[in-house]
Structure 1
């Protein structure tokens, strides 16, 4: 069981502390959050892969059958490596 220690605090100090913490929280939500770096070794589900490539899932299956993208399986689920998907993109001239 945790011990609870109560210390007396006057009303004005409590109001100031609440106001300060509230202002900090509001400011933290206003400022843009830094994006997490993309881990290129991420495994993506078919839905995530289709969204990344902006294609439909049936197109993803066709590309897989043709060997355009590699698929990996774990316990009956299919996954795609983000790094391999990005490598499979070719530059058009």
Structure 2
């Protein structure tokens, strides 16, 4: 069995020791380039919508898609620009 026993260390010290190991992974996810291409599934996840709603927005021209072969991609920058605040 693989066991690690920690004696004489507080939870705060353990959290501080693990912070450098966990931080690079979090920064990779948050530093997405704005111009990268996203699949339909990624756009649906980002906007919390389903494929039908994405298709309707693409058909109406609210979202612009690009195709490579039979694959459909969306520009992250354009998707984020298409999302507008209701209060403005």
1:50 — aligned with what? 44
2:78 — aligned with what? 84
1:33 — aligned with what? 23
TM-score by length of 2: 0.69
1:30 Cα shift?
2.5
Moved over 4 A (4+): none
Asked which structure has the greater CA Rg, the reply is 1
Unpaired stretches in structure 2, ≥5 consecutive residues: 1-14
TM-score by length of 1: 0.65
CA distance in structure 2 between the aligned counterparts of 1:38 and 1:30, rounded to whole angstroms? 24
Paired residues, what number? Answer: 67
